[in-house]
Amino acid sequence: MRVVLVQPRGRKLASGGKDVHSLACVLPPLGIASIAGVLRNEGHEVFVVDAALKWHLPNDVVAERIAALRPDIVGFTATTSGFNDACDLCSRVRTRARDARTVFGGVHASWGKDRILRAVPEIDYVVAGEGEPAMKALAGGEDPAGIKGLWYRDGTNILSGPEQSAGIPPDDLPFPAYDLLPSFPGGYNLPIFGYPRRPGATVVSSRGCVYRCSFCDRSVFGKGFRYNSPEYTFELLRWLQRDFNVRHVHFYDDLFTLSRRRVARLCELVRRSSLRMTFNCIVRVGHIDRDLTRELKSAGCWMVNVGIESGDQRMLDRHKSGITVETITRDVELLHREGLWVKGLFMMGFPGETPESIEASRKLALGLPLKDINVTAFTPFPGAPITSRIDELGTMDNDWDKMDCEHFVFVPRGIDSAQWLARERVRFIRDFYRRRSMRGVYAAMLWQSPHSYWRLLKRAGTFVSYARDLSR
């Protein structure tokens, strides 16, 4: 079976514009890389087309390239903001490869299921949940009625196989097929100023989350939490360095430090090896202490991302329970004292947000020893818990194309407009990077991440234009 797995551009192509997101950060599509690894092990001929690497190409050109591979199955993954663009690409593929079956998966498809099939006739199948078992069964010729998590057409009817119940043991999966990704690793960019060595790669070593934040869509992995063994993860790191010369890894696990024993063992394996690799990871407030921080540091951890979200306790209680402003302050200061660079992840525009709560978040960011921040627009994705009653809490623009965490598609009651939120976001970011303490950070980055400066200088005009657009 010839299978083409497609990462669409991720957003609509703006006429004559530049996509600053592709300049600042383009990450390998690990979901389809994992599926590719499974299918290849089953003897199928697998190709990966990553349109995000060629974001300026029209979908007609991408569709021609997909059709030229003579696929039997074409699988698409798409975020909510990129879903319409993915559907457009899919329809163009259908006109050129009429015999190919089309499959959609990912978080948006896992939410939409039958709704997507009814709305988009060019899609033959939707995978709800983890993609590897369903795609393996479909490519293997199994009856769709018996494939867990698969939704499909039977004439004019929309049917489904059984629900996915238990998740895949992560160690049972082969390594993601990084080697099938075009231009890996050099064609991909980790977040600018977010890594000290290149080339870099991303790794996900666990699945799921035990928490239930109001804004998080867990349609794919559900409520459970599973993780790769330290030995599996270590061998993956060794392979990335040996075969691809990867020198820095960013772990994109939602709860990397949830299992203290796992992290400590992984750090031990790295320390005892000849592996000389730095890494970043995401930590949750309350799942870090001095001993574990030192374990991370000793194994090469360079930066940790901390999900702070808000500096207002009311917002935390409502949207990210179990976290306090005091605990945030304690953990960030601990990480800083132990020599790790800390990046704070904030969100603006929550239901219940007020000018005072936004100001509390800004003041917290300015007062913490953070080296970097990310401030996103609260986005009620279709499968998030809060979305079922979002219309009661403010004004919602259901334009999927804008659900990219950059546009304020939701305006909470008590806030004047999306434009006001956008201006406050720019002020938040501007004030943070103009702090006196950031001068030392900029100086350190000249020698710690010179490649980031080079990327910034090469595309300075685009970045400046983007900053101006944000402030409008």
Identify the weakest region by mean pLDDT among 168-172, 304-308, 458-462. 458-462
User: Measured between alpha carbons, how far is 54 from 187 in angstroms, rounded to an integer?
Assistant: 10
Which residues are within 8 A (CB) of 450 and not within 5 positions of it... i.e. 6 or more apart? none
34-56: per-residue pLDDT in tens? 999 999 999 999 999 999 988 88
pLDDT of residue 21: 55
pLDDT at 300 over 60: yes
Cα separation, 176 vs 256, in Å, equals 18
CA atoms of 367 and 185, how far apart (whole Å): 36
- pLDDT at position 70 is 97
Confidence of residue 458 (pLDDT cuts 50, 70, 90): low
Top pLDDT among 177 and 462 is at 177
12-16, 252-256, 288-292, 390-394: least confident range: 12-16
**Residue among 355, 361, 362, 470 at smallest CA distance from 419:** 470
The per-residue pLDDT for 15 is 43
Confidence tier at 463 by pLDDT (50, 70, 90):
low
What is the reported pLDDT for 464?
A: 60
Rounded to an integer, what distance in angstroms lies between the CA atom of residue 93 and that of residue 64? 7
Work out the mean pLDDT of the chain and round it to a whole number: 91
- The pLDDT > 90 percentage for the chain reads 75
The C-alpha atoms of residue 455 and residue 390 are separated, in whole angstroms, by: 39
**Identity of the amino acid at 22:** S
CA gap 256, 263 in Å, rounded:
8
Q: 416-428 as b/e, with b when 16 or more CB fall inside 10 Å?
A: eebeebbebbbeb
Element (H, E) at 359: helix 355-367
Reply yes or no on whether the pLDDT at 17 is more than 70. Answer: no
Fold of 192-470: TIM Barrel (3.20.20)
| CA distance linking residue 85 with residue 8, whole number of Å | 7
The arithmetic mean of pLDDT across residues 209-220, rounded, is: 84
pLDDT tens for 346-369 read 999 999 999 999 999 999 999 999
Q: For residue 64, what are the CA distances in angstroms to 51, 70, 94, 232, 332? A: 12, 10, 10, 38, 49
469 has a pLDDT exceeding 60: no
User: CA–CA separation, 272 vs 306, rounded Å?
Assistant: 27
Stretch 331-351: mean pLDDT:
96
Give the pLDDT confidence of 95-154 residue by residue, as tens digits. Answer: 999 999 999 999 999 999 999 999 999 999 999 999 999 999 999 999 999 999 999 999
Element (DSSP H or E) covering residue 180: none
Q: What is the DSSP string of 48-96?
A: EEEGGGGTTS-HHHHHHHHHTT--SEEEEE--TTTHHHHHHHHHHHHHH
- pLDDT at position 442: 77
Tell me how many helices (H) and strands (E) the chain has.
17, 17
- At residue 351, the pLDDT reads 97
Higher pLDDT, 452 or 291: 291
Mean pLDDT value across residues 187-193: 85
Place of tokens 């890996």: 184
Domain boundaries, the chain: 2-160, 192-470
Local confidence band at 198 (pLDDT 50, 70, 90 cut-offs): confident
CA distances from 242 to 102, 173, 247 (A): 35, 20, 10
Q: At what angle do helices 325-337 and 290-298 cross, to 10 degrees?
A: 40
pLDDT tens profile 370-413: 999 999 999 999 999 999 999 999 999 999 999 999 999 999 99
Q: At residue 22, does pLDDT exceed 60?
A: no
The stretch 173-188 carries a mean pLDDT of 94
Q: Residues 6 or more apart from 296 whose CB is under 8 A from it?
A: 263, 267, 281, 304, 340
Give the other-Cβ count within 10 Å of 251's Cβ. Answer: 21
Architecture of the domain delimited by 2-160 = 3-Layer(aba) Sandwich (3.40)
Q: Which carries the bigger pLDDT value, residue 438 or residue 344?
A: 344
| C-alpha 233: how far from chain center | 19
Give yes or no for residue 472 having a pLDDT over 60.
no
Q: So what's the pLDDT on residue 357?
A: 97
**Residue bearing the bigger pLDDT, 337 or 189:** 337
Section 325-344 average pLDDT = 96
Confidence of residue 295 (pLDDT cuts 50, 70, 90): very high
Condensed to tens digits (0 to 9), the pLDDT of residues 423-448 reads: 999 999 999 999 988 888 878 777 77
Query: Residue 441, exposed/middle/buried by CB under 10 A (0-12, 13-18, 19+)?
Result: middle
pLDDT at res. 16:
44
Angle at 248 between CA 247 and CA 249, to 5 degrees: 130
Please identify which residue in the block is written with the tokens 């083409």.
4
**Stretch among 148-152, 259-263, 468-472 having the lowest mean pLDDT:** 468-472
The residues near 424 (Cβ < 8 Å, ≥ 6 apart) are 348, 355, 358
Q: What is the spatial distance between Cα 435 and Cα 209, in angstroms, rounded to a whole number? A: 35
pLDDT of 455: 67
Residues of the chain above pLDDT 70, percent: 92
Contacts with 320 (C-beta within 8 Å, 6 or more apart), sequence order: 211, 213, 214, 307, 309, 310
pLDDT value at residue 461: 64
Helix (H, G, I), strand (E, B) or coil at 37: helix
